Each structure stands twice: as structure tokens, then as C-alpha cells.
Structure 1
Amino acid sequence: MAVGERDPHSGHMTTGHEWNGIKELNTPVPRTVWFFLIVTVIFSIGYWVLMPAWPLGKTYTRGLLDNDQKQLVAKRVDAAADARSRWTKQIAAMRPDQIRADAVLMAYVREDGHRLFGDNCAACHGMDATGNPGFPNLTDQEWLWGGTPDAIAHTIAVGVNSPASKTSQVSQMLAFGKDGILDNDAVLAVADYVKTLSDPAWAKGKAASVAKGREVFAANCVACHGEQGRGNQIMGAPDLTDQAWLYGGDIADIYTTINDGRQGEMPAWEHRLNPVDRKILTVYLLDKVKTP
């Protein structure tokens, strides 16, 4: 097939290519395509002239509009920080009870506290603050280290068993069975007794074991948990008479805790969160506590 041959049906010139009798036509580019190509080129040139576009070593062409997104973001961040400082200054100067009585401030606390809690605490305690196995529920009335504003703020600041703080609260449940302090029969017996403190019905049919467990408890556990098993917030020892179990309250979990021991850790936030943020978290948690 010759180049330049005109197709008798369409009237277009051919390219000289042929496949099994099918000839390729040299059809022109559609006008619509040319239109959009031209518009695109004009837009590109206009954008290069008006907006920041070309790198020039350590800087770049600013454009006639001088639309610097970095400066815009910086201004917005500064404006947000200025707006936040207006109410955080009030938070810093007021007591937790005064803050909780101020509906406007509490709206800020709930919003900002939710962010702070989600960023720093939710991984362990859950977004709803109801805890996970090994991490306490922060919405009930059962506090290991005290539920007053000062106690909560102190726990947030220094943590529990935290190597990051020189003033960390230290708490450890001994491994009475694993370390050979008690034999297995004694561990089983004291587990039965501890179970009855929160579930008296468990004592049915276990009188001998519970009686022995009571003796073991008196000899080994009262120093931390008290004679009635109600715990000691100064030492972080939990109340064994309620239904708030950190590691589980069935007999197998109780046995494992007594036998293997426990030593949880809470990070100290005094180096990561400033005093105002810790105060916001404290008030936020107090607001989350469910009244009985």
C-alpha cells in the first residue's frame, strides 16, 4: 500500500500500514483534544506565574499571588494556640471542683480531654475508659491509688512502677506460689477465701478450704489488703471485696494472680504532658466516673 493513498470510503489519506487487508487511515486529531490540550497549557502557564511553583535552590518562585501555604498553616496554628490559651489559663488558675462547676469550661475539658485521652491513654484503658484486662476501669468508683483530684493528678504525673519517674508509685503482688512462699495447697485455699470476699456463695461446700485460706490470708496478705480485704490506696493494693477485678475475678484468675504475682506498669506523663494538660485529663476522668 502506498503512502499518501486516499481511502475511497472516508476520504482520509492512508499511512501506508496494512494488516490483513485492513488499511490504517491518517485521521486528524479531534478538535476537542486540541482544545483541552491548549486549555491545559494556558492553565499551567498561568499557575506557574500566579502560584509558588519553581524550586530555586533553597527557595522557590513565590508567584504573583504569594500564596504561601506554610505561612497560612503557621498562622492558623498560632491562632488556634492563642484561642486555646484563653481558657487553659483559666483551667490553670482554678481548682478541679471550680472547673467542674463551670459549664463553659467543662465543654472545653470534654472536647480537649477526649483528644488527650485518645492520644495517650486509650491504648490501655480503651476509648471509653472502661479498661482492659490488666488495665483498670477509670469510670467506676474503685481507685487503686485514690480517686480524689490530687490523687488522680499525682498518678497521671508519676505513673505506677514507672522507671521514668523518681517519685513513681510502686506496687507489686508477690508470686506466692512461684517463689515458694506458699505451697500449692495454701495457694488454692487462699484463692477460695479471696473469692468468698466478693462472692460469699463460693464458700458453699468449701468450708475447710476457706477456713484454711482465711488463716493463710491473715498471715500473708493483710499487710497490703487489710484484715477485711478492702485494700490500701496508699500502697495501691486493690479492694478484694468488690467486683472490680483488674486481672479477672474467676477462681482460675485469682489462683494465677496469687501463684504468679502481678506487677503492672503505668507510664509517668510528667515529662510528656504539661501541668495544664494533666489537669485537663484529671477533670476529664472525674467527669467520666459513673455515680452509683
Structure 2
Amino acid sequence: MSDFTSNFWSVYVAAITLIGIVACLLLLWFSGKAKANTAGDNTTGHVWDGDLREMNNPLPRWWVGLFIITVVFALVYLALYPGLGTYPGLLGWTSRGQYQTEVSKGNAEVAPLYARYSSMKPEDVAADAQGMAIGERLFMNNCAQCHGSDARGGNGFPNLTDSDWLYGGTPDKIIETITHGRIGNMPPMAAAVGSADDVKNVAQYVLSLSGSPHDSLRAALGKPKFAVCAACHGADGKGNQAIGAPNLTDDIWLHGYGEKAIVAMINNGMTNQMPAQENRLTEPQIHVLASYVWGLSNKPSPVSR
């Protein structure tokens, strides 16, 4: 791992780059100085197909000129831009800086579009047809990769169209989630629960909480063991939005349904991350996006303006 934290590779690549350029110049110089053994008619003596002879003519000057220009361009480029290891270049250009400049320019161009919605309540934005159309494009570009184009999520990715929220579904909570992201952590609990049979019994009890098909005898045995889970999910299994603990009574399964999936969760735990968007989206954009997400599960009547 130390190979990737030291500057060895940057120095190695820089050295190879410079050696390659110098080698090209030396090759050009030696090829111009070298003299081939020629006959009296300026041929090298090589003959193909009976009468096709190799002449000993110098390289065209335009070709040599282009070659030199290419080498000079490479050297100038490496002096101006960061092409030699950690050397920043005389212009101080970086891809990150270029990206930030383009993003800032783009945000400035669309700022008037979002200014209208910044002063509106999320509920009003969600009722605005144009606002929802803008929110949909933001969602497709930034959220659909995980939650799906229909926002119904998938295994490990929450469905945003229902009323089940891990951290709360108010507009303010949605804005908070989008802005700062979330890290959900279910620690492995098998050791605290007990034996493998105890884990299966707890899984059956969890299934019983939502009225799912279950083994009632095992569920009864698992109920006392559920006490170690109640610290997060609550004694009634209804979860805790303050820490993102899921409601186990609503028959909505984020990481899979059935005894096998629940046993795996108890044994192995799970860590999920919703990345923060505050460095990618502006506050007005997050406001519109949160309004769109809120509207997915609240369905206000659209109003055209």
C-alpha cells in the first residue's frame, strides 16, 4: 500500500516521459548523421522485385521540422501544465480547478431559474408543474443511479414513493438527508443474541411483527431475545428515525425478505451510505430536489404557472 502513498510512481512516470522525449531527439540526430554504404548511383544496394532499389535520400525537411515542433510542443506543455509527477506547472492548472470553474459558471447561469423557487415552501414547489419537472431532471442526474428512475429503489436502496422513511419524510428532513448524506449502520448482533437457534428465533419474531408468514413457536422463543435489538428498533419494533433504525412492523424490507435475509443481517450487520450532495448541488437546487422527492410520496395536485 505504501507504493501508492509515496511519490515513487510520480517520479518514475516523469522520468520515463523525459527520457522518451530525449531519446526521440537523439534518434533524430543520429539518423541524420548516420551514413549508409551506398553505391555510385546513391542506392544502398538493396533490391526488391528485380528492379526496386532503396535510395539513400535524407528525410524531407518538412518532416524533420514537424518532428522537432512536436518535441518542442511536448516540452512547453510539460512546463506549463502538471505533466511531470507532482510538478504543478507554471500556469497552476488543475482538472479539479477546471471542473469547479465550469460548475460555478453553470450554476451562475441557472441561478435565476432556481431563484423563483427558493422563496417557495417545498409543498408549493411540489405542486408546481415546472418545479417538479426541474426536480425530476435533478433526480435523474443525481439520484436515479441508486433509487431508480421511478424512485422505487431496490435491494439496499430505499423506495422514495411510499411513506416509509428511515430518518423522517418531512421536507426539512429530506433537505438534511440530501445535503449531509446518511450513514446507516446495523452492527453484527449474533453474539449478543445467542446461539444460531436464537438468531433464527429472533428472525421469526421479526417476521411476526409485520404479520408476515412465520413459525409462531420460534417467534415466541425469539421475543425475549429481541431485547438486544430493542435499543435501536424499539420494544415494539417500530424503529427510531433519530438514528435511522427501520420500522420492523410495516412489512417493508430494505435488504431482503424472509428468515434467511434477516439471519444474515443479524449475523453480519450492514453499513449503508447515502452520499452528501452539498458539494455537488447548490442550496436552491437541493431545495427543488427535496421538494420533488417529498412530492413523490405526498402527490400534491400539480399547478401550472
Task: Report if TM-score (shorter chain) is over 0.5.
Answer: yes
Number of the residue aligned with 1:223 = 231
CA shift, 1:79, in A, is 11
Matched, 1:184 2:196: yes
Which letter maps to 2:291?
V
Larger radius of gyration: 1
The answer to which structure, 1 or 2, has the higher relative contact order (CA under 8 A, 6+ apart) is 2
- In angstroms, what is the RMSD of aligned CA positions? 2.2
Number of the residue aligned with 2:170 = 148
What is the distance in 2 between the residues matched to 1:155 and 1:200? 30
Number of the residue aligned with 2:42 = none
What is the distance in 2 between the residues matched to 1:182 and 1:172? 20
Which letter maps to 1:88?
Y
CA shift, 1:237, in A, is 0.2
What is the distance in 2 between the residues matched to 1:79 and 1:182? 56
The partner residue of 1:94 within 110, 120, 130 is 120
CA shift, 1:97, in A, is 2.5
The partner residue of 2:289 within 248, 265, 281 is 281
Unaligned runs of 5+ in 2: 1-104, 300-305
Matched, 1:213 2:222: yes
| Deviations, residues 168-226 of structure 1 (Å, cap 9, x unaligned) | xxx3111122x6763212111100100111125424xx32x2122110102x0111101
After the TM superposition, which residues 121-132 of structure 1 pair with which residues of structure 2 at under 5 Å, given as runs? 121-132=143-154
Which letter maps to 1:192?
Q
The partner residue of 1:194 within 173, 197, 206 is 206
Unaligned runs of 5+ in 1: 1-77, 162-170
CA shift, 1:94, in A, is 2.0
Matched, 1:139 2:161: yes
CA shift, 1:258, in A, is 1.1
2:193–2:225 contact (8 Å) kept in structure 1: no
Which letter maps to 1:211?
A
What is the distance in 2 between the residues matched to 1:250 and 1:188? 11
| Deviations, residues 25-52 of structure 1 (Å, cap 9, x unaligned) | xxxxxxxxxxxxxxxxxxxxxxxxxxxx
What is the distance in 2 between the residues matched to 1:80 and 1:234? 33
Q: TM-score, normalised by structure 1?
A: 0.62
Which letter maps to 1:227?
A
CA shift, 1:250, in A, is 1.4
Q: TM-score, normalised by structure 2?
A: 0.60
SS of the aligned residue for 2:214 comes to helix
Number of the residue aligned with 1:11 = none
Bigger shift: residues 91-100 or 278-287: 91-100
More helix by share: 2
Number of the residue aligned with 2:249 = 241
What is the distance in 1 between the residues matched to 2:115 and 2:233? 41
- The alignment-based identity, stated in percent, is 41
SS of the aligned residue for 1:224 comes to helix
2:181–2:277 contact (8 Å) kept in structure 1: yes
Which letter maps to 1:217?
F
SS of the aligned residue for 1:185 comes to helix
CA shift, 1:81, in A, is 6.7
2:117–2:125 contact (8 Å) kept in structure 1: yes
Number of the residue aligned with 1:173 = 186
Q: In the superposition, relative to structure 1, how do residues 79 and 260 fare at CA in structure 2: closer, same or farther (>3 Å)? A: closer
CA shift, 1:95, in A, is 1.9
What is the distance in 2 between the residues matched to 1:126 and 1:173? 24
What is the distance in 2 between the residues matched to 1:286 and 1:148? 7
What is the distance in 1 between the residues matched to 2:119 and 2:229? 43
SS of the aligned residue for 2:271 comes to coil
What is the distance in 2 between the residues matched to 1:114 and 1:184? 46
SS of the aligned residue for 1:265 comes to strand
What is the distance in 2 between the residues matched to 1:201 and 1:111? 41
SS of the aligned residue for 1:289 comes to helix
